[in-house]
Structure 1
Amino acid sequence: MPHPRRLALPTFAVAILTLVAGPAAARPFTDAAGRVVEVPNRATRVVAAGPPAAVLLYTLAPDRMAGWVRTPSPAERPYLAPATWALPATGRLTGRGGTANVEAVLALKPDLVVDVGSTGPTYASLADRVQAQTGIPYILLDGAFAKTGETYRQLGAVLGLGPAADGLAAYADRTVAEVAERVARVPEAERPRVYYARGPRGLETGFAGSINTEILEVVGARNVAVGGNGLANVSPEQVLGWNPDVIVALDPAFRPGDDPIWRGVKAVREGRVYRTPTLPFAWFDAPPGVNRLIGMRWLAHLLYPALFHEDLPAIVADFYQRFYHVALTPEAKAVLLDGAVPARR
């Protein structure tokens, strides 16, 4: 599914940014779109163009971040390195609902912009235009989930953090391969049918093939929402007709058991409605970034308990240490997994 990006900076702002971007020692770097960009030999003040890029940059190089796309909430901060809590917010440079704060971007004086998402001609052209207008090197990295390892290695190369990036990339590649190998043992007809519920009423969903439900396909689940594109609103009657085996919900306010129509859905009747963890980044999408790595592992445990026997809380703690640079307390783990796993009987 295309990523709907559009330039968010007004003309007067990019003119000013051009003036503040000073010369620096540079070297050529070929990004995921095949663009050759002159990047700093050592980029130390990096701005993420949107949420997926912010997650990627934070996991690899929190000390190189010049700011967040948005300020972490009080609930998110315990799951992030304290040194990053007070970083300024810039807003989105590009993307749906671009909200870049021009003054904040100017004050940060970034030496590199990183974007993650689609790498087709439209977005390569946009990156070229932003770079030409601002004078700031702008690289595009592939946001496809299957390219997670490769994307880490590319960012590691541009930032001079090869060994650290290789470690995260190896974890990603190993996890994806392990899940795929086990799920391949399950016949297609026996794989769970899943509905992804967004919003407090659970009536927004991502259709099969959309980036919002990409990890359902990665774990071999069958998305019941077919016949549409991207995100869309549906009716309770439509979900009842699909009759999913499992519902994965993004909004904790969604309580289908309180609605007589929803109570007719198989997943609701059998108590297989699970809330995706969202701290500090949602595990399923929102944003559709590398944060989905732990979501993939969680879904695999949730949907195929006979194949995945490992201690999920231990896997979660290890992931948060490696990628989010925090040691989870037992209480923090409990908050994350509340409603996300079957209740103990």
Structure 2
Amino acid sequence: MIRAVLIAAFGLLAVPALAGTVTDSSGRVVEIPDRVDAVFAAGPPASILVYALKPEALTGWPRALRPEERPYIAEPFRDLPETGRLTGRGGEANLERVLAIDPDLIVDFGSVRDTYRDLAERTQAQTGIPYILVNGRFEATPEALRLVGAALGVPERGAALAADAEATFAAIDAILADVPLEARPRVYLARGPDGLETGTVGSINTEIIERAGGRNVADPGDGRPGGLVQASIEQVILSDPDIIVTWDRTFYAKVFDDPLWAGIKAVREGRVHLSPTAPFGWIDRPPSLNRMIGLRWMARLLYPDRWPGALRDEARDFYRLWYHVDLSEDDLDRLLEWSAGRPPN
């Protein structure tokens, strides 16, 4: 009943899918219903993927939206229930809850390592609900959109968003074609209130830096898979990044007045940038489709003379296309506050 009300309110009708059998990103062959009207998102990245493609099919948010996030989601979907998550940190949704929701399909978007494949197999066997794994890496975004769009019965929507993602990648590639690696800006991602958590090269959390044409200074150089690490201020000083990006307002509010950071080039030159975070972070938090607008923001920070257009217009268009919402001028003001960085003293 609730789902029917949401469909009517949003003005969308479910389109019968002709999927039948889907081969997910891990190579699993999964039988899915011809019509998918209810989807359980296994984690935050999957909830954004499903919402972007077919919001009326989303059965709930892994974490309920906060008040400051609500204006950036289409109104019929702001009050969807909190479902918890099956995967990642704090995966607390139990199978009884999934069965009570009774979805047609479970979608996970992110890593397709054996750990997640095993979870998908086990959950599907125990519940009888089809469960697909979708590769969440940046380069796989268009493929993911087409795959899940087809599975949800909205292939045209999947193709449209995939084409938009491909256009963004192509625009960045055109900029980078004549910018050698050694000439690209050196970037540090400052996570947390002290700015000392970061992601090493290859991490899904810093993938946005590398894809936008920046050089992640957190590079151990040993070829190990990237991940989140705790840095020291000495390491950041030694790396001396040209640009620092962060989503943490506590860190941003104090970094320019902190003597420990004062000598770093990015701080001296006012090139510390606070990423928007509503309704989802533009850098990661979570690493999902929300990074597509973050990628454009990042490319503009790194190559301001080469990236065309105005960020305000780009954000308005992105939120309309991907998030189904028309932002007011006040909403845009709040979203983009401080995102351009602070001029040096």
1:96 CA displacement: 2.4
**Residue correspondence of structure 1 range 151-170 to structure 2 within 5 A:** 151-170=144-163
How far residue 309 of structure 1 moved from its aligned partner, in angstroms, is 2.8
Counterpart in 2 of 1:6? Answer: none
Note closer, same or farther for the CA distance 1:26–1:174 as it changes in structure 2 (3 Å cut).
Answer: closer
Matched, 1:278 2:271: no
SS of the residue corresponding to residue 305 of structure 1 reads coil
Q: Partners of 1:124 and 1:237 in 2: how far apart?
A: 39
Query: Is this contact kept in 1: 2:270–2:343, CA < 8 A?
Result: no
- Name the counterpart of 2:9: none
2:7 corresponding residue in structure 1: none
Q: TM-score, normalised by structure 1?
A: 0.89
Q: Is the 8 A contact 1:219 1:300 kept in 2?
A: yes
Output the CA distance in 1 between the equivalents of 2:309 and 2:207: 24
d(CA) in 2 for partners of 1:74, 1:296: 25
Q: Distance in 2 between matches of 1:285 and 1:189?
A: 25
Equivalents in 2 of 1:207, 1:26: separation in Å? Answer: 38
Pairing 1:182–2:175 present? yes
Give the equivalent residue in structure 2 for 1:86: 79
Q: Which residue of 1 aligns with 2:286?
A: 287
Give the letter for the 2:200 counterpart. Answer: F
Match of 1:265 in 2: 264
| SS of corresponding position for 1:88 | coil
TM-superposed CA distance for 1:344, in Å, is: 8.4
CA deviations over 1:130-180 (Å, ceiling 9, x no partner)? 100111110111111101111000001111101111111110111111111
Q: What pairs up with 1:91-170 in 2 under 5 angstroms?
A: 91-100=84-93, 104-170=97-163
For residues 29 and 187 of structure 1, what CA distance do their matches in structure 2 show?
Answer: 41
Is the CA contact 2:208–2:291 (under 8 Å) kept in the aligned structure 1? yes
Q: What does residue 251 of structure 1 align with? A: 248
Structure 2 residue 73 is the aligned partner of structure 1 residue 74: no
The answer to whether the 8 A contact 1:90-1:101 is kept is no
Contact between 1:119 and 1:141, CA under 8 Å: does it hold in 2?
A: yes
**Structure 1: how far apart are the matches of 2:100 and 2:129?**
14
Q: Distance in 1 between matches of 2:26 and 2:33?
A: 19
Cα distance, 1:184 vs structure 2: 2.2
CA positional deviation for 1:185: 2.0
Partner of 2:5: none
Q: Single out whichever of 196-205 and 232-241 deviates more from structure 2.
A: 232-241
Give the TM-score, by structure 2 length: 0.89
The answer (yes or no) to whether the contact 1:88–1:104 under 8 Å persists in 2 is no
Question: How many percent identity over aligned positions?
Answer: 52
Task: Give the 3 Å change call, closer, same or farther, for CA 344–324 of structure 1 in structure 2.
Answer: farther
C-alpha contact (below 8 Å) 1:89/1:104 kept by paired residues: no
Structure 1 residues 110 and 242, CA gap change in structure 2 (3 angstroms)? same
* Gapped regions of structure 1 (runs ≥ 5): 1-24
State the AA in 1 paired with 2:103.
P
Relative to 1, partners in 2 of residues 1:300 and 1:328: Cα closer, same or farther, differing over 3 Å?
same
Separation of aligned partners in 2, 1:87 and 1:328: 20
Separation in structure 2 between the aligned mates of residue 53 and residue 78 of structure 1, nearest angstrom: 20
Amino acid at match of 2:177: A
Contact kept, 8 Å, 1:68 with 1:87, in 2: the verdict is yes
Preserved contact between residue 142 and residue 151 of structure 1 (Cα < 8 Å): yes
Question: 2: CA distance between counterparts of 1:98 and 1:196?
Answer: 26
The answer to which of 315-324 and 81-90 deviates more is 81-90
1:65 equivalent to 2:48? Answer no
SS at match of 2:149: helix
- Shift of residue 258, structure 1, vs aligned partner: 2.0
In the alignment, is the contact (CA less than 8 A) between 1:90 and 1:102 conserved in 2? no
1:193 aligns to what? 186
Q: Distance in 2 between matches of 1:195 and 1:95?
A: 24
From 236, 240, 252, the equivalent of 2:233 is 236
The one-letter code matched in structure 2 to 1:105 is V
Matched AA of 1:50 = G
What amino acid sits opposite 1:220 in the alignment?
G
SS in 2 for 1:212: coil
Q: Do the aligned partners of 2:241 and 2:264 also contact (CA within 8 Å) in 1?
A: yes
What secondary structure, in the 3-state scheme, does the structure 2 residue paired with 1:99 have? coil
Q: Is the 8 A contact 1:224 1:244 kept in 2?
A: yes
Offset, 1:343: 5.4
CA contact (8 A) 1:53 1:115 kept: yes
Relative to structure 1, is the Cα distance of residues 126 and 271 closer, same or farther in structure 2, using a 3 angstrom cutoff?
Answer: same
**Paired letter, 2:56:** D
Hey, what's the Cα distance between the residues in 2 that align with 1:51 and 1:144? 15
Matched length: 321
Q: Deviations over 1:32-77 (max 9, x none)?
A: 1111111011111101001110110111111011111110000000
